[in-house]
Amino acid sequence: MDGPVAPESGTPSSRPTSTPVGSGPAGSSAVADAARTGRGPVRTCIGCRRRGERSDLVRLVALGPATVVVDERRSAPGRGGWLHPQHSCLELALRRGTVARALRLQPPVDTTAVASWMALNGVPAAGT
Ligand SMILES: [Zn+2]
């Protein structure tokens, strides 16, 4: 009678694992769906709330306490809001009050400069 054969319980796995696993952030998934859309940075239009590539939207910034202008360089300091260069999106944003909210302004805000910027840049007029 032979003794019970001691099962070889695997080779001692003493590989140096130099990758820390399991330390991912557990509570921050706010940007999960906005990330990984593929190319380029993506912004959400404050009017229609649709996402678009950064280059497809214009950035709005506050100029003074209640005036909103287009930040043509998209790099002005301070808070900015992103909008499709469309009158309909501007109207939506105004109606929903998202312009003021995005820029931390007290409504009502003056967006005539934005509208005229659109006119200057060949954006067709709203409606019709
Ligand atoms: Zn839009």
pLDDT digits (tens, 9 = 90+) for 93-124: 999 999 999 999 999 999 999 999 999 999 98
pLDDT digits (tens, 9 = 90+) for 55-79: 999 999 999 999 999 999 999 999 9
Which comes out higher in pLDDT, residue 91 or 6?
Answer: 91
Cα 27 to ligand 1 centroid, rounded to whole Å:
30
Cα 43 to ligand 1 centroid, rounded to whole Å:
10
Nearest Cα to Cα of residue 100 among 66, 63, 75, 70: 66
What is residue 109's predicted lDDT score, i.e. its pLDDT? 95
pLDDT digits (tens, 9 = 90+) for 20-39: 555 555 544 444 444 555 67
The reported pTM is 0.68
pLDDT digits (tens, 9 = 90+) for 45-56: 999 999 999 999
Cα 84 to ligand 1 centroid, rounded to whole Å:
4
**What DSSP line would sit under 64-125, residue for residue?**
SSSBEEEETTS--SS-EEEE-SSHHHHHHHHHHTHHHHHHT-PSS-B-HHHHHHHHHTTPPP
Separation CA 4–CA 89 (nearest Å): 79
Cα 88 to ligand 1 centroid, rounded to whole Å:
7
CA atoms within 13 A on the CB side of 50: 12
What is residue 28's predicted lDDT score, i.e. its pLDDT? 45
Cα 26 to ligand 1 centroid, rounded to whole Å:
32
Q: Looking at the domain 42-120, which fold is it?
A: Hypothetical Cytosolic Protein; Chain: A; (3.30.1230)
What is residue 125's predicted lDDT score, i.e. its pLDDT? 80
In Å, the largest CA–CA distance within the chain is 98
